[in-house]
Amino acid sequence: MTILQMHQVNTFYGVSHILFDVTMEVQDGSITGLLGRNGAGKTTTLRTIMGLTPPKSGRISFKGEEIAGMPAHKIASKGIAYVPDDRQIFSPLSVYENLTIGMPRSKKRRPLRWTLERIYDLFPVLRGLAAKRGAHISGGEQKMLAIGRALMQDPDLLLLDEPTEGLAPLIVKSLGDTILEIGKEGVTILLADQNVRFARKLIGYGYIIDKGNVEHHAPMEDIWNDKELVCKYLAV
């Protein structure tokens, strides 16, 4: 079943046309990839879905409901959470406060799947850092905190923007295992990343975006095995 659908979406920053007729689908329960180099349009696509940069035209539906044009807080309340590439944690607040601020305030249609204890089980390092301010933890720990805070919203769809950016290889591997674990818990994930080796281990289906256009989409193994395609759009 399709949980998210974009159809001929066009997004602008002022007068600059950034996304051109972007059309894509994300299947419920999947980990789908949005692949491309820096500046290809990955972040704008996620921000457009989230309502932070609303589209000028086109349709975006989530679980069959049109969400294009809704304010971001309303889209979040529908069950979409966004982890930006720069994390945007609240630096003066403690790790504990950052996590609990993400808890939904309205009554949910089901018992919460993600609690503080479950986040600490997923990211054990955060338990020991609970009292530390966000400004005083490492970049990798901030990334874990940002993902944990998003999960505390109890989303059905998690948007991850460049989760591996700036992280050491060992942390990248651990983060990949965690993302797979989150997917197994029933959270649908749309992952935007330029690290094709990392993405290959996680995603089942990929969309390649370049200069704001979806240039190709296919099962991830087909993309990986097409060396000419990888070289043209994904090699750095």
**pLDDT at position 125 over 70:** yes
**pLDDT mean across residues, the chain:** 92
> What span, in angstroms and rounded, lies between the C-alpha atoms of 74 and 80?
10
pLDDT recorded at residue 236? 59
Other CB atoms within 10 A of residue 71 CB: 11
pLDDT recorded at residue 186? 92
What CATH architecture is 2-87+156-233? Answer: 3-Layer(aba) Sandwich (3.40)
pLDDT digits (tens, 9 = 90+) for 145-170: 999 999 999 999 999 999 988 788 88
> What span, in angstroms and rounded, lies between the C-alpha atoms of 202 and 161?
14
For the entire predicted model, the pTM comes to: 0.93
pLDDT digits (tens, 9 = 90+) for 65-112: 999 999 999 999 999 999 998 878 888 999 999 999 877 665 555 667
Task: Give the Cα-Cα-Cα angle 187, 193, 197 (nearest 5 degrees).
Answer: 100
pLDDT digits (tens, 9 = 90+) for 22-35: 999 999 999 999 99
**pLDDT at position 10 over 90:** yes
| Percent of the chain surpassing pLDDT 90 | 78
